[in-house]
Structure 1
Amino acid sequence: MNKIKSNPYVKSVSQKSITYTDEFKRLFIAEYESGRLPREIFESCGFDIEILGMVRVNKAAKRWKSAYTTSGLDGLTDTRKGNSGRPLGRELSMEEKYERLLAQNKLLQAENELL
């Protein structure tokens, strides 16, 4: 765990999971789209495949490719801290609704530009 934790592309490590940085996920997608294999990308970023295991590498690759296909670069962002999943207990004001619509519009424009 200490060897994995020392990698600059790792946010945190537990007995069951590894949380990679958003930067690594974006780098992974860019490299993957240029034709490199998941194993090569992980190795070139300093990960020991013998420790991680190919199953973990392939599952992460599949998860990130799916998130990128569905939501673009925003799909690779770790939103666990910013979104507790709890519904807002109050009604939004018109200004807040307007701000959310603007943010959603910008997101959709960025996705269209990416495509």
Structure 2
Amino acid sequence: MGVNYFRDEQVKELERNPYVKKVSAKSITYSEEFKELFWIDLQKGMMPGNIFRKYGFDPLMLGSRRTDNFTHRVRKEAAREEGFKDTRSRNSGRPRTKNLTVEEQLEMLKQKNKIL
């Protein structure tokens, strides 16, 4: 296994944390609530490792790269209009580069209707 992978017992421990949405051997998804709490504590001047400990995480188990990346991501998300909301379902796919004609829109809706 890779250096940054979680062992089975670590995955089980992380699953018990109420601030974990999803966890696998390779990744961890934190709840929106945890991101908000983390951001509030970060603004108060707390160190990221101490914030993780405060909410039941072991920073050594997570690793410095994961904690640093998470801190960077939280700062970026805090600056977004959507905040810490997961926008993947609304922003998936490639954006359209041209406007569709009425006929093209109708054809697209027919295909969509057929799929549904």
Question: Could you say which structure has the larger radius of gyration?
Answer: 2
Structure 2 match to 1:62: 72
How far apart, in 2, do the equivalents of 1:90 and 1:16 lie?
Answer: 41
Counterpart of 1:51 in structure 2 is 61
2:85 corresponding residue in structure 1: 77
Q: CA RMSD in A?
A: 2.2
Aligned-partner Cα distance in 1 for 2:95–2:75: 29
Q: Map of 1:4-15 to 2, 5 A cutoff? A: 4-15=14-25
Deviation at 1:33, TM superposition (A): 0.4
Give ranges in structure 1 of 5+ residues lacking alignment: 92-115
Within 5 Å, give how 1:1-115 maps onto structure 2: 1-69=11-79, 71-72=80-81, 74-85=82-93, 90=105
Q: What CA deviation, in whole Å up to 9, does each residue of 1:87-114 have, x standing for no partner?
A: 69958xxxxxxxxxxxxxxxxxxxxxxx
Indicate how the Cα distance of structure 1 residues 55 and 84 shifts in structure 2: closer, same or farther if over 3 A, else same.
Answer: same
Q: Measure how far apart 1:83 and its partner are.
A: 4.4
Q: Counterparts of 2:105 and 2:53 in 1: how far apart (Å)? A: 48
SS where residue 29 of structure 2 aligns? strand
Distance in 2, matches of 1:5 and 1:83, equals: 27
| Offset from partner CA, 1:53-83 (integer Å, 9 cap, x none) | 12111110011112212x15x2321222454
Corresponding pairs, count: 89
TM-score by length of 2: 0.66
Query: Share of identical aligned residues, percent?
Result: 42
Provide structure 2 residue ranges, at least 5 long, that are not aligned to the other structure. 1-10, 97-103, 107-116
Q: Which structure shows the higher helix fraction? A: 1
Task: Give me the TM-score of the superposition, normalised by structure 1.
Answer: 0.67
Q: What SS does the aligned partner of 1:75 have?
A: coil
